[in-house]
Amino acid sequence: MVDKCPKCGEALITRTIQKKMGTGSIDYPVAQICQKCNWSKDLTGAGDIVAKSPATEEAGGKSEKRPEVVRQAPEKPKQAPEKPRQVIEKTSLRPSASKQRVPDMNKIITIALAFLVIVVIVWAFMPKGNEPTGDIQPTSTPEVTASATVTPTPDVTPTGNKIKVKINRDRGYVLKEQANLKIKPGEEVIWLNEGSYPLTLISNDGLFEDKLLDYDKLTTHIFTKPGTYSFDIKVMGVKKFNGTVTVEP
């Protein structure tokens, strides 16, 4: 059951202190206080303590003021003043003015030399005004007429003689003696593929373009200039046989 204040009837607050008893502890009441009228009671046996209200203090006159004890904080030991640190400034090494001027002088010298060369070239090609001008009479040079004798080459007319050369992919030239054929100017050579597979006839001297000859196909050429002409027979792009045609004068 909560105790009530005898003056105002408000519930009292009990203050306790904790005391150790052997291995444990116990809460021991020391006072009861009323928060409303500030009435208090000492439970330790010292008697009732009546707190004066602010109204009674004003009516009673001057109240005694307890001197306030001001605790001064312990003074900190004085430390020696810190010495100012020396700040070492890093100075960037800059090239001296003489070194900076060297590239500028080189540029100026280069530009001056280039200008001087241009002036000399222009002066060299300028017409000289101080040279005396006189009438120059052209000297006529006799014309030299040379008579060149051109020997016309006689036109070779086809003789109508036709020579048939049989070839195939397996044997090359069917007649071995036709591998090195000899003819006269104006004669016509006929190459005939008598095999069952196609082949290509190639003129190494550029007499005609490469001729692809299928079965029973032929190609012809009339030889008008003396000389020896070479031919290849290729099968599927691979050289298989070689022959010549010699045109005797």
Q: Which domains does the chain possess?
A: 13-59 (no CATH), 162-247 (2.60.40.420)
Average the pLDDT over each of 4-18, 20-34, 51-65, 108-122 and give the range with the smallest value.
Answer: 51-65
**Which pLDDT band, with edges at 50, 70 and 90, does 249 fall under?**
confident
Arithmetic mean of pLDDT over the chain: 76
Q: Identify which has the larger pLDDT, 145 or 38.
A: 38
* pLDDT value, residue 64: 44
Give, rounded to a whole angstrom, the gap between the first and last alpha carbons of the chain: 158
Per-residue pLDDT at 212 exceeds 60: yes
* pLDDT value, residue 105: 84
Say if strands 180-183 and 238-247 run parallel, antiparallel, or are unpaired: parallel
Per-residue pLDDT at 231 exceeds 90: yes
Average pLDDT value for residue range 190-219: 93
Query: How far is CA 109 from its chain centroid?
Result: 39
Average pLDDT value for residue range 87-113: 67
pTM summary value = 0.39
Distance CA 199, CA 108 (A): 76
* pLDDT value, residue 104: 77
* pLDDT value, residue 49: 47
- DSSP bridge partners of 190: 164, 220
Per-residue pLDDT at 170 exceeds 60: yes
Distance CA 168, CA 61 (A): 153
Is residue 227 within 8 A of residue 245, CB to CB? The reply is no
Per-residue pLDDT at 177 exceeds 80: yes
* pLDDT value, residue 248: 92
